[in-house]
Structure 1
């Protein structure tokens, strides 16, 4: 796991809070799934109940994610027009390419985005938050399918 239960306990204790079974379960589920919306986390927790964890409802998942993000243990990004998608913060060393055609999500190295962010900061004094970066466009397969469809349409 990217964030151990012990580090979660220590982080929460430092803030005068407890690592409840629900908090541990949400963080573990997020680590297992890699990326997940609160709804996907709730479904995962219902499908994989732990003996010591009461069933988590959606509002508990949202509150837990907000707390874990405030503590710097998880981060979120907006990959589409629905709920934010969360990930364990230690796993946030990439950005996301989201295909508008098929919805495919691809993780890619953050280095090119860092160069872009540095250029923007130098020119505008604006510091970009790369932890929330996602680029929307067309994957190679959908782009090729669109080209093929255009070729067929132009030959009619």
Structure 2
């Protein structure tokens, strides 16, 4: 395994939650200062393609990453007020996916986007 991939995996494994590309690059710089930022981006793309890392597109064009691990595929919601990301069960939108398929022949894959709303704390 290449040094950039190893450093990215270490950064993700030692930090809870979902990390932005910038947060991962910063963590990698501390773990392996010799790894160039461009190599971090390439490693993230490769690890995502391999299914080791999952990415999710957040509001305003941001992307967050996390290890796939034992959780398997799942959905995400992001609080539009505090930015908190919540993992959701993969089958949450099955009814919506079935309806989209029936009406439009569309196969929904919502694992790479975050639903937007308010978390319980911000809604209170």
Shorter-chain TM-score: what band?
A: 0.7 to 0.9
Task: Figure out how many residues of one structure are paired with residues of the other and give that number.
Answer: 122
**What residue ranges of structure 2 are gaps of 5+ in the alignment?**
none
Q: Closer, same or farther in 2 for the Cα pair 1:31/1:92, shift >3 Å?
A: farther
Contact 1:42 1:56 in 2 (8 A): no
1:123 deviation in Å?
2.1
Which ranges of structure 1 fall in alignment gaps of 5 or more residues?
Answer: 1-18, 145-156
Give the TM-score taking structure 2 as reference length: 0.81
Of 38, 60, 73, 1:93 maps to: 73
TM-score, length-normalised on structure 1? 0.67
Of Structure 1 and Structure 2, the greater strand share is in: 2
More helix by share: 1
Q: Secondary structure at the match of 2:93?
A: helix
| CA separation of 1:31 and 1:119: change in aligned 2, threshold 3 A | farther
Contact 1:39-1:58 at 8 Å conserved across structures: no
- Flag the structure with more relative contact order, 1 or 2, with Cα contacts below 8 A and sequence separation at least 6: 2
**C-alpha RMSD of the superposition:** 2.1
Equivalent residues in 2 for 1:3-152, closer than 5 Å: 19-33=1-15, 34-47=17-30, 49=31, 53-90=32-69, 91-144=71-124
